Structure 1
Amino acid sequence: MLDDEPPISDQKQSGAYFTPHDVAQSLVSWALRKPTDRLLDPSCGDGQFLSAHPNSVGIEQNPVSAQAAISVAPSALVHKGDFFAWAGETNERFECAAGNPPFIRYQSFKGEVRRRALNLCARHGAPFSGLASSWAPFLVATAALLKPGGRMAFVVPAEIGHAPYAAPLLEYLVSSFSGVQIIAIRNKLFPQLSEDCWLLYAEGQGGSTTHIDFTVCDEFKPSRHRPRPTVQIDVHEWRAVWARRLRAYLLPREIRDIYAAASKDSASRRLGDFATVGIGYVSGDNDFFHLRPSEVNRWKIPTELLHPSLRSGRVMPASQITAATVESWTKADEKVLLLRLNRGQDLPTSVQAYLDSGAGREARLGYKCRNRTPWYAVPDVQIPDFMLSYMSGRAANLVQNLAGVTCTNSVHSVRVRDKALARKLFPQWSTPFLRLSCELEGHALGGGMLKLEPGEASRILFPSDNATGEANKEALEDAVKTLHRWRHYGD
């Protein structure tokens, strides 16, 4: 950590992870054309980008960081304050921009700053959802401050390749610049972060393009010149075939063609075509609402008010949850018995005593509990046909629920609408194609994990009998391993 960096907790709140010098130097070199070019850094931090070019303007909200930027880049002009307020009022325009915008997730990117940011982007034709993280609006607001023909080069989270909120940004860029390039870097630019970072370059502000230049590389190599594209992504294909995601372009063309052909085959099916994927229930206090058998005996809770539950994907069995599975949980005295109470229900004295215990008084103060009536009635308790791991290591796990257990929101609830089709298709789950589909439709999470949101899980593709062949098995296995490496599984 640099001497002038804020503590880690403050960094997470502000998104302030300062850029390595060689990265900043390279991005500024890509953006500049001549010494007289005026460069903008919308969130200049400690001034790494400003120090690489004397004719620079930086905006920085953190006063300590702003002072550091003034010290390392005395020839630059540094404004202290909110970038979006400044961008909405300034008449200045710039030949180029470079930087590393703060990565603040939507939960912390809020209040008046967020309102200004989203309103400003909407006026420029980039309507972001309420789930947008801060860096994406920074790029749109910066692009709008460039002169015609202007250029920009930025560090961006790898989320640009898969996050739904990143799609409006890319749509804005391809409609506002004559050239857009994304450099995907496998090795971490910031080793201290779980978040992977890529690089973005755009040129020709005021133009438009029908393709995205995409460069795939293992590590960042400092250079005054941008790396050559690995592939030119057709924007129509990116929209129509890959749901405006870039993750597939980490793979060879051969694999993309196999997957695209299967997706276009009328006999292929998505998981959402025959099943509904949703999250399990949210109890509000898992430790209180889930009891061990020994606790049930101690409190004398009637068994008819309890229901066995799968609390975590970490304890999912390989393929089925059976009565023997539940018996093993019970013998191990695991906290797997959900206290399942309903609104208006007469409560036995023993249950009321448990609700009034110290743990109960504490549980009812939690956000979820205090915002429902009655606080002790856990809503949305379902009995799924199958359960699907929400976050996975080597592969997503699909488990049949033969024991009729319920599940928390740490796993997905899968309810089958077409049982005949499910019986036909689910045996494919462990095949290379299905494992690849989970990788392509899901996304990487920190620590090497694969995360599948319900919408992503619904897109998992079951190919027709003719869509893939035995000859492709080895290539598909290699593709799965490639995506494992990109999400750092096994590192």
Structure 2
Amino acid sequence: MKFKVDQTTQKLRGGYYTPQNLADFVSKWVLEKQPKSVLEPSCGDGVFIQALHNNKCDKNIELSCFELLDTEVQKASNLCTELGFKNASVTSGDFLVWANDQLDKKIELFDAVIGNPPFIRYQFLEKSFQEQAELVFKKLDQKFTKHTNAWVPFLLSTLALLNKGGRMAMVIPSEIINVMHAQSLRSYMGEICSKILIIDPKEIWFENTLQGAVIIMAEKKTDISIPSEGVGILSVEGSEFLEKSPEVLFNETLGINGETVEGKWTKAVLNKSEISLINKIISHESVHKFKTIATVDVGIVTGANKFFLVDNETVETYNLSAYAHPMFGKSQHCPGILYDENQHKSNQLNNLPTNFLYIESDYNELPLSVQNYIQLGEQEKLNERYKCRIRKPWYKVPSIYSTEIGMLKRCHEAPRLILNSVGAYTTDTAYRITSSFTNAENLVCSFLNPLTAITAELEGRYYGGGVLELVPSEIEKLYIPVIDDYKHDPDTLNQLVKDGKVEEVIRNQGEAIFTKLGFSKQDNEELMKIWQKLRDRRMRK
């Protein structure tokens, strides 16, 4: 959890200004249709106003700008005057307040929208802004979540205010492609837009941030009944694309209709032959959706991991051995696919916190040394944390059970299941998985194949650092080929994964399993290329 007090002023106001060359490119595209009215909902000091001028925009255009900071409002207003815009207004205040008033009128006001909306997590917004953000979703009948970010209601409202056939082009976080909190926006755009193009760079455009950004270019339907061309993603490297015509790029990039618009947009990175191969493989009777063969549950939520997850030295110091149980929760605990006695002992020798403390007795019934340890936690006010204070006693953690299979929430190269042969507990940085179809060893080893790795890239989400994250609902959508009673070599696979040879393992396991199912070695190689393409994009290779 990140707290508001820990965030920089720049992050709290979402103040990452767009480089001029990107603003020029974006503005050039919307001006192709000679709009008579343009909206800039978060103009900052006026980089997009300058971009309109740089593209020789008609100075009689009706330009409506909004900005929260008074100092920036003044800069933008002065710039409009200096550049000779005759019908420009720069309004000081929260754009969403104004937008919600307009949404009530159910009218479309603008031929074009440009800009770079604020990147601010909902939890960091002031209460009044939170209320306005939620109101946008309500007025447009879209599902709201408190995991959203300020840029999402900005796009929703500006699209609603865009005239039929109008264009929106903005610089926004790359997470639009795959995060769950943007699903309402993706669905809404799929409904009202005739085509959507995302220009997806390898580089980070904004300095001093890990936040990946993309250009989104969308044209609104002239008639809601017209089918959408869907979403196209154009991957770019460097700045050469800025020398090309944005109109040509928009027209030449193919959109992929149907499921891409309905769900996450990562699939738009793939071409039709790649999607066709994936669909061919997943239609096989021995390829299963994960939720049909296994259950996924979050790990143990302690509310204070540093108190409940301890090393051997802490156990010995406070005589906690009667309350200590094996545990894992990080990649350093599980470098392979096996969590066995050897791995557990290795972790202990490396002084890792390998013990989970489960203390269920009343305080007065506990030995003095254990009482002292609990007092240590209370001195640090751990008992006042939300998850702890709602428990009685605060140090008795609920939902204590282990499963034969674990899975870390986040991964670097590819996700993997972990065969938990010692019955170790897992924290909420990992998941507890139970197979309902085949034995645990078979499921763990079968998971290592290119198709499952591909669907993890398509269903998961990632952030600026390139780490892949999967939540239970996303894991349930993964596809995995399973041949019941198939004999694997888990010890060899485990050592190869530990040695960093994940790609070799995925290729070999895929070839062994898929050829057994009647597919060719070439099919497996094509799947490998698709996975490498998606993985390298995520990791910005």
**Same-fold call, TM cutoff 0.5:** yes
Distance of aligned partners of 1:457 and 1:213 in 2 relative to their CA distance in 1, 3 Å threshold = closer
Q: Deviations over 1:133-179 (max 9, x none)?
A: 22121111112222333221111222221122323212222322334
Q: Which residue of 2 aligns with 1:234?
A: 257
Q: Taking every aligned residue pair, what percent have the same amino acid on both sides?
A: 27
Q: Which residue of 1 aligns with 2:66?
A: 59
Give 1:21 shift.
0.6
Name the CA distance, whole Å, in 2 between partners of 1:68 and 1:417: 63
Q: Which residue of 1 aligns with 2:184?
A: 168
Q: Which residue of 1 aligns with 2:218?
A: 202
Q: Which residue of 2 aligns with 1:407?
A: 426
Q: Which residue of 2 aligns with 1:27?
A: 26
**Correspondences of 1:99-118 after superposition (within 5 Å):** 99-109=115-125, 111-118=127-134
Q: Which residue of 1 aligns with 2:163?
A: 147
Q: Deviations over 1:394-422 (max 9, x none)?
A: 221321000111011122222223344x5
Q: Which residue of 2 aligns with 1:475?
A: 526
Q: Which residue of 2 aligns with 1:418?
A: 437
Q: Conserved in 1, the CA contact under 8 Å of 2:337 and 2:418?
A: yes
Give 1:35 shift.
6.1
Question: After alignment, is 152-161 or 342-351 more displaced?
Answer: 342-351
SS of equivalent to 2:50: helix
Distance of aligned partners of 1:134 and 1:482 in 2 relative to their CA distance in 1, 3 Å threshold = same
Cα root mean square deviation, aligned: 2.6
Name the CA distance, whole Å, in 1 between partners of 2:115 and 2:376: 54
Q: Which residue of 1 aligns with 2:49?
A: 50
Q: Which residue of 1 aligns with 2:76?
A: 69
Name the CA distance, whole Å, in 2 between partners of 1:419 and 1:34: 58
The number of residues matched between the two structures is 478
Give 1:58 shift.
1.0
1:15 maps to 2:30: no
Give 1:474 shift.
2.2
Name the CA distance, whole Å, in 1 between partners of 2:524 and 2:179: 29
SS of equivalent to 1:447: coil
Q: Conserved in 2, the CA contact under 8 Å of 1:189 and 1:197?
A: yes
What amino acid sits opposite 2:166 in the alignment? G
Distance of aligned partners of 1:426 and 1:268 in 2 relative to their CA distance in 1, 3 Å threshold = same
Q: Conserved in 2, the CA contact under 8 Å of 1:146 and 1:205?
A: no
Give 1:460 shift.
1.8
What amino acid sits opposite 1:21 in the alignment? Q
Q: Conserved in 1, the CA contact under 8 Å of 2:296 and 2:431?
A: yes
1:367 maps to 2:386: yes
Q: Conserved in 1, the CA contact under 8 Å of 2:405 and 2:420?
A: yes
Q: Which residue of 2 aligns with 1:3?
A: none
What TM-score do the two structures reach when normalised by structure 1? 0.89
Name the CA distance, whole Å, in 2 between partners of 1:284 and 1:424: 34
Give 1:9 shift.
1.3
Give 1:131 shift.
2.4
Give 1:41 shift.
0.7
Distance of aligned partners of 1:386 and 1:172 in 2 relative to their CA distance in 1, 3 Å threshold = same
Name the CA distance, whole Å, in 1 between partners of 2:392 and 2:222: 54
Name the CA distance, whole Å, in 1 between partners of 2:309 and 2:45: 48
Q: Deviations over 1:289-340 (max 9, x none)?
A: 2222222222222x22111211312321312111222222333333221221
Name the CA distance, whole Å, in 1 between partners of 2:31 and 2:179: 29
1:394 maps to 2:421: no
Name the CA distance, whole Å, in 2 between partners of 1:245 and 1:86: 30
Pick one of 225, 229, 241 that aligns with 2:246. 225
Structure 2: gaps spanning 5 or more residues: 1-5, 53-58, 483-513
Give 1:358 shift.
6.2
What TM-score do the two structures reach when normalised by structure 2? 0.81
Name the CA distance, whole Å, in 1 between partners of 2:35 and 2:122: 37
Give 1:80 shift.
0.8
1:324 maps to 2:320: no
Name the CA distance, whole Å, in 2 between partners of 1:486 and 1:191: 20
Q: Which residue of 1 aligns with 2:498?
A: none
Distance of aligned partners of 1:286 and 1:119 in 2 relative to their CA distance in 1, 3 Å threshold = same
Pick one of 428, 450, 471 that aligns with 1:432. 450
What amino acid sits opposite 2:254 in the alignment? V
Question: After alignment, is 387-396 or 190-199 more displaced?
Answer: 190-199
Higher helix share: 2
